[in-house]
Amino acid sequence: MKLSNILTVVNQVEKSKFVNFLDRVCSEAIAHDKELAKKVRSLDGQIKNASSSEIVQLFQLVLPHFENSVKQHLSMLGAQAKLLVNIISRDGNSIARGSWIESLYSKEWELISKQAQESFAMLNEADFASDTFDEAKRLHIYHSCLSEAHQNDIRANREAKITDDERGILNILAEKLDITAEQQSALEHLVNQIPQTGALDCLNALREIGLVFIRRKDHTIFVADEVVSLLNRIEGKELADKHILRVLRTLSDAELSNILKSHGKRIRGVERPEKIKTILQMKLSVSSMLQNDICGTEANLNDRKERLKELISDLSLDLDKLGSTIDERTELIINSLNSCSDLEFNALSATGFKEMFSSLQVHLPDLTKTLQLEFEIEDNEPLTVDRLRALSITPHDILYVLSNDQVKDIRESMGLGKRGNARQMILESFADATDRLIDNYEALSQRDLAKLKAANIEIAEADIGVKFEETTKAIFEQLGLTVDEDLRKSVNTAKDKADILLSLSEDDVIIGEAKTCKNGDFAKYSTTSRQVKAYVNRCEAAGKRVAQVLIIAPSFSDDFIDSADTDTEINISLLEAKGLKLIYDAFKSRRNPKFTAKLFTKGGLLKADLIAKNI
């Protein structure tokens, strides 16, 4: 979940620790950075009274300083904080109850403890007098250096801790000795044991340095997407696990074996799923894996460059350039995957995402359980598309959790062609389903089942209202508007449920209501106005300014139009469904369309033909 959305679901007290830490970082930074000081002063008011958008702007301005400060504080908090950071920055853990994070901590501690015992046994049994430079000898060298880094403080009568400088040297040593991140954690556990209890106290310490928000009423932990990226950089993690999984799914069995061989792992008799699982657990450098491991030792530089070019195509990455060197191509792949979430959410409309998820659940009844295990999602509530979006899990992420064989089976059962990228074909098929609904948008608004059936759209009458709402969202997304599902979910209650929220900025929104009507004009003004006024109050309570209320229906009665024009409490615009479709068609037909959401804020019955003409 984005920082801006988290700030809307926590109260002033719950966001105070983040704001206070941000204020301290800002005060220290502007004392040494005049350019930054000038930008900060351009923001109005004191930070403690700042709006959510101003807090986000300030965070983005001082991000490098914020990151450095977090790094310093984490080094002082020790191994327990490092373990917790590893957990909260993993896929699916950005929204979870404290008890769930605590259970993950206990599970992770047990795994590290077991690995530490195995490493200890290996070190005890090794023959260090031999000339063989095997795994035991490499672990022994790293363990000795790690112990020295920890003990030299004690000899100098200082608190024992590993400094950033020492950590940097140890990381290079681990890379040269081919010590995996998993082995590093186990050996560090031997030198300085991670506490088995006290995870919740440590979470509170992380809250003090702005890394987590804790909502007290249900003890839910929130970690902003921007903070997850920051923690990954601090930890030296080039890609999230879900993106590394994509790369591994795309590689051949031989290439997976090459990676394992490069790091002395067994490959004989090991099945593909186990190879992928082992590589993920090793937490290897992605750059090194792409540049050195996948092609094997016999491949020359041109072979490696060509394979990365093919990989860009295999991953369906839309890049303006391919890069001329192996380093450039590696960097392009990593940067593209790190920044793909927004593009992937936009590639499939909210309707398309829901239809895809529902369809996959039919093909794979255990899909929910699979996703909960893969992303460590707590099973305290149903797994919905809205929850997946809040956790930043995209349609692509879901398809890459599935094995290549599973995806091919789904493609065949859906009757799609057998040539091409199976995952991409599945995604495009659901994009096509949304396009059919948009093409028949007016019939959908009029609940015209016969016309919909003639267009090969099978839909139950009870579902038409929801489909119209979702298709309206899809049109807005195609128009380049921001349909804010996270914000909508945060402000909705069991009683008051807005259909659509369009974010114009960090603070300004348009409330959208999509109304179907079977016969005649839509005429229920008193009921509709009570609804939208309640939504306006909810948004304003969350710190948002409602620029306009936009009601979309097949057509409106004269009384409805007059009542909307004379309503003094809220600003209402009315738009007929055929008019929105006309605007959409005009937008799609232009090479460089000029469209802004402000065109919806004129008030009264909007002249769609005039808007379409001026796009």
* Main-chain phi, psi angles of 218, to 5 degrees: -130, 10
Say whether pLDDT at 44 is over 60: no
Which of 54-63, 266-275, 347-356, 598-607 has the least mean pLDDT? Answer: 347-356
Q: Which residues pair with 503 in a beta bridge?
A: 482, 509
Say whether pLDDT at 610 is over 80: yes
User: pLDDT value at position 79?
Assistant: 82
Averaged over 566-586, what is the pLDDT? 94
Question: 127 or 341: whose pLDDT is higher?
Answer: 341
Averaged over 194-209, what is the pLDDT? 93
User: pLDDT value at position 523?
Assistant: 92
Task: Spell out a b/e string for 51-72, using b for 16 or more CB atoms within 10 Å of the CB, else e.
Answer: bbbbbbbbbebbeebbbebbbe
Say whether pLDDT at 565 is over 60: yes
Whole-angstrom distance, CA of residue 26 vs CA of residue 566: 47
User: pLDDT value at position 46?
Assistant: 65
Averaged over 567-571, what is the pLDDT? 91
Edge-first strand order for the sheet with 213-215 is 95-97, 220-222, 213-215
Kind and range of the H or E run holding 550: strand 545-553
- Token output for 264: 């002395």
Question: 31 or 556: whose pLDDT is higher?
Answer: 556
Say whether pLDDT at 506 is over 90: no
User: pLDDT value at position 127?
Assistant: 75
Residue-averaged pLDDT of the chain = 90
* Main-chain phi, psi angles of 172, to 5 degrees: -65, -40
Do residues 234 and 241 lie in contact, with contact meaning Cβ atoms separated by under 8 Å?
A: no
The burial class, CB within 10 Å (0-12 / 13-18 / 19+), for 568 is exposed
| Long-range contact set of residues 96-101: C-beta below 8 Å, sequence gap at least 24 | 96/220, 96/221, 96/377, 96/378, 97/218, 97/219, 97/220, 97/221, 97/378, 97/380, 98/200, 98/203, 98/214, 98/219, 98/220, 98/221, 99/219, 100/378, 100/380, 101/199, 101/203, 101/221
User: pLDDT value at position 420?
Assistant: 84
User: pLDDT value at position 43?
Assistant: 64
User: pLDDT value at position 614?
Assistant: 86
pLDDT over 90, % of the chain:
57
Domain ranges within the chain, ordered by starting residue: 1-169+189-235, 241-339, 344-439, 460-615
Q: What is the tens place of the pLDDT at every residue in 137-172?
A: 889 999 999 988 888 878 878 877 777 788 888 888
Which of 28-32, 137-141, 449-453 has the least mean pLDDT? Answer: 28-32
The burial class, CB within 10 Å (0-12 / 13-18 / 19+), for 519 is exposed
Which of 28-37, 405-414, 513-522 has the least mean pLDDT? Answer: 28-37
- Write out the DSSP string of 293-358: ITT-TT--HHHHHHHHHHHHHHTT---S---SSHHHHHHHHHHHHHT-HHHHHHHS-HHHHHHHHH
User: pLDDT value at position 248?
Assistant: 96
Say whether pLDDT at 184 is over 90: no
User: pLDDT value at position 374?
Assistant: 93
CB-based contacts of 271, cutoff 8 Å, min separation 6: none
Q: What is the tens place of the pLDDT at every residue in 430-441?
A: 887 888 899 999
Among candidates 339, 432, 441, 345, which has minimal Cα distance to 386? 345
Q: Please, what CATH class does the domain formed by 460-615 belong to?
A: alpha beta
User: pLDDT value at position 611?
Assistant: 93
Averaged over 119-145, what is the pLDDT? 84
User: pLDDT value at position 337?
Assistant: 95
**3-state DSSP assignment of residue 221:** strand
**3-state DSSP assignment of residue 72:** helix
* Main-chain phi, psi angles of 517, to 5 degrees: -155, 125
Provide the pLDDT confidence category of residue 37 given band limits of 50, 70 and 90: confident
Say whether pLDDT at 559 is over 80: yes
Whole-angstrom distance, CA of residue 119 vs CA of residue 112: 10
Provide the pLDDT confidence category of residue 573 given band limits of 50, 70 and 90: very high
pLDDT over 70, % of the chain:
99
CB-based contacts of 519, cutoff 8 Å, min separation 6: none
Question: 279 or 181: whose pLDDT is higher?
Answer: 279
Averaged over 175-183, what is the pLDDT? 84
Averaged over 29-56, what is the pLDDT? 76
Report H helices in 440-576.
441-445, 449-454, 464-478, 485-491, 525-541, 558-566
Say whether pLDDT at 496 is over 60: yes
Which of 48-52, 235-239, 543-547 has the least mean pLDDT? Answer: 48-52
At 95, the amino acid letter reads I
| Long-range contact set of residues 270-275: C-beta below 8 Å, sequence gap at least 24 | 272/403, 273/403
Averaged over 221-228, what is the pLDDT? 95
Averaged over 262-278, what is the pLDDT? 91
Whole-angstrom distance, CA of residue 488 vs CA of residue 498: 7
Averaged over 417-433, what is the pLDDT? 87
Q: Give the count of alpha carbons within 13 A of 245, CB side only.
A: 20
Whole-angstrom distance, CA of residue 615 vs CA of residue 611: 6
Averaged over 209-232, what is the pLDDT? 94
Q: What is the tens place of the pLDDT at every residue in 65-82?
A: 999 999 989 878 878 898
Whole-angstrom distance, CA of residue 400 vs CA of residue 394: 10
Give the CA dihedral 169, 175, 180, 186, nearest 10 degrees: -20
At residue 58's C-alpha, the angle toward residues 55 and 60, to 5°, is 110
User: pLDDT value at position 45?
Assistant: 55
User: pLDDT value at position 235?
Assistant: 86
Q: What is the tens place of the pLDDT at every residue in 394-403?
A: 999 999 999 9
